Amino acid sequence: MRSGPLLLPVVSALAALMACRPPTPPETPPPEPARLSALEDRGLAPVEAAPALDAPPLLLTGARVMTAAGATYDPGWVLLQDGRIAALGEGSPPADSAARRIDLSGRVITPGLIDTHSHIGVYAAPDARAHSDGNEMTSPVTSGVWSEHAFWPEDPQLELLVAGGVTTAQILPGSGNLIGGRGVTLHLVPTRGARAMRLPGAPETVKMACGENPKRVYGERNSEPSTRMGNLHTQREAFFAAERLLRDWEDYTRAHERWVQDGAEEDPPKPPDRDLARETLALVLRGDILPQVHCYRADDMLNMLQLADELGFSIRSFHHALEAYKIRDVLAEKDVAVSTWADWWGFKLEAWDGVEANAAMLAQAGVRAVIHSDSAIGAQRLNQEAAKARRAGAEAGILFTDDQTLRWITANPAWALGVEDQVGTLEPGKRADLTVWDGDPFSVYTHAELVFIDGVLRYRRGDGSAPWSDWTLGREVTP
């Protein structure tokens, strides 16, 4: 190509164009990068908002107040204001309070009970195949599905939970898969959709499983996993894939920061493609989602803890965990809660070596023991299940106070779900979720008489009001 004098007119023309170009427009901030988010709402308001609070100030007086925070006031008082616990104490309440007073002499006030393991709403009543929405057993790893998207707020079992004193519950996928999907923590108030029932600020959770269930489901299909070896192999592969996705997001974030620093003149870097299953596990690795792991045998739990150590995440709670007593020192050191039953055992081989003192032995060792239900019936009597677990401990020489036992169904499950700053104990500033019992809450003769959620009376025993669910409307049995 010839050069020299022939290029001079072109250069001169370009210089003239540059000299007369319009001024640079005012600098605008570069767009924010896409983010890997535990609850990706893309800035959209929910279709159905949570119910507006109509919680007039109330002063509950004269009852025995069990706080689950180390103190019991007998008699005591609790002031509810703006959906929160404003104050509480022993003896006479403030004389200058303008709140409406309710005399609860002879009753017992506790925090609302919390069930860490429920399938209500995803296995709704009446029991039918049409209502079987808890196990997406099409692949051993379905971490991209959410139980919220299968939850039926018309399930008549919900009101029965509240009638048992339960105010918060974690609704989980089943245990047919190694990673069954995300759970959801719900405040048990009547709504038309699950999103509006979410407990505000509750972290996301994910249901995982080990042992017999996944290997049976997929072994019967002659596919992996069909053994415990296959279980761990598939779990590790899924998390390694999520680890790669997390690195891609970190690389993208750094590239976006460099793009901003360089003046954002070029096209912005492209974020990684969406992969809902890997995103859930990537958020587990980042600590944003709390793993809830179905496990029975001690060796299975140790394997899962080793997997967590290998990949750098923490297990929040083992569920069922009938052999947890065998590794209670390890669980205490790792700060892993155990959500278990009082006396279920023996219904399959991995449940054979359970002991009724499991919860008591765990609590004695410093583990956060939780009594859960995994049953729409058991969830209606969590207070009695805790009493049974304490009795089994006493027979083994391990004694607990009422306050310590109450924590198994209030404060400890709140921690397992990451909501201990909001619920689980009666303390100023926390949500006004509380249950009023007509006697000793650990007696089989006692009923929940009143249940408040966010300071609103949601249940009164025997008041004859219309049921929450349209499914039961008109089907009530009347004397």
Q: What is the three-class DSSP state of 322?
A: coil
> What mean pLDDT is reported for the chain?
91
Per-residue confidence (pLDDT) for residue 175, from 0 to 100: 97
The answer to whether 187 and 168 have CB atoms below 8 angstroms apart is yes
pLDDT tens string 92-116: 898 878 899 999 999 999 999 999 9
Per-residue confidence (pLDDT) for residue 476, from 0 to 100: 63
Q: State the DSSP string of 147-170.
A: GGGT--TT-THHHHHHHTTEEEEE
Per-residue confidence (pLDDT) for residue 35, from 0 to 100: 82
Per-residue confidence (pLDDT) for residue 43, from 0 to 100: 64
Per-residue CA distances from 36 to 160, 278, 284 (Å): 38, 11, 12
Q: Which domains does the chain have, with CATH numbers?
A: 113-423 (3.20.20.140)
- Say if residue 27's pLDDT is above 60: no
Per-residue confidence (pLDDT) for residue 479, from 0 to 100: 55
Q: State the DSSP string of 80-149.
A: EETTEEEEEEESSPPTT--SEEEE-TT-EEEEPEEEEEE-TTTBPSS--GGGB-S--TTSSB-TT-BGGG
pLDDT tens string 270-315: 999 999 999 999 999 999 999 999 999 999 999 999 999 999 999 9
The answer to whether 293 and 273 have CB atoms below 8 angstroms apart is no
Q: Which two tokens stand for residue 326?
A: 């065998």
Give mean pLDDT, residues 237-254: 96
Of the candidates 191, 22, 80, the one whose C-alpha atom is nearest the C-alpha of residue 450 is 80
The answer to whether 289 and 204 have CB atoms below 8 angstroms apart is yes
Looking only at the bridges linking them, the beta strands covering 204-209 and 317-320 are: unpaired
**Bridge partners of residue 109, in order along the sequence:** 65, 436
Give mean pLDDT, residues 409-425: 98
Give the C-alpha separation, 174 to 319, whole Å: 12
Give mean pLDDT, residues 237-251: 96
pLDDT tens string 161-206: 999 999 999 999 999 999 999 999 999 999 999 999 999 999 999 9
Give mean pLDDT, residues 462-475: 80
Q: Could you tell me the pLDDT band of residue 28, with boundaries at 50, 70 and 90?
A: low
Per-residue confidence (pLDDT) for residue 3, from 0 to 100: 40
The pTM is what?
0.91
Q: Which two tokens stand for residue 11?
A: 């250069």
The answer to whether 182 and 146 have CB atoms below 8 angstroms apart is yes
Stated as kind and residue range, the H or E segment containing 301 is: helix 298-311
Q: Could you tell me the pLDDT band of residue 144, with boundaries at 50, 70 and 90?
A: very high
pLDDT tens string 54-67: 889 999 999 999 99
Per-residue confidence (pLDDT) for residue 475, from 0 to 100: 67
Which has the higher per-residue pLDDT, 10 or 69?
69
Give the C-alpha separation, 276 to 282, whole Å: 10
The full 3-state SS of 19-48, as one line of letters, equals HCCCCCCCCCCCCCCCCCCCCCCCCCCCCC
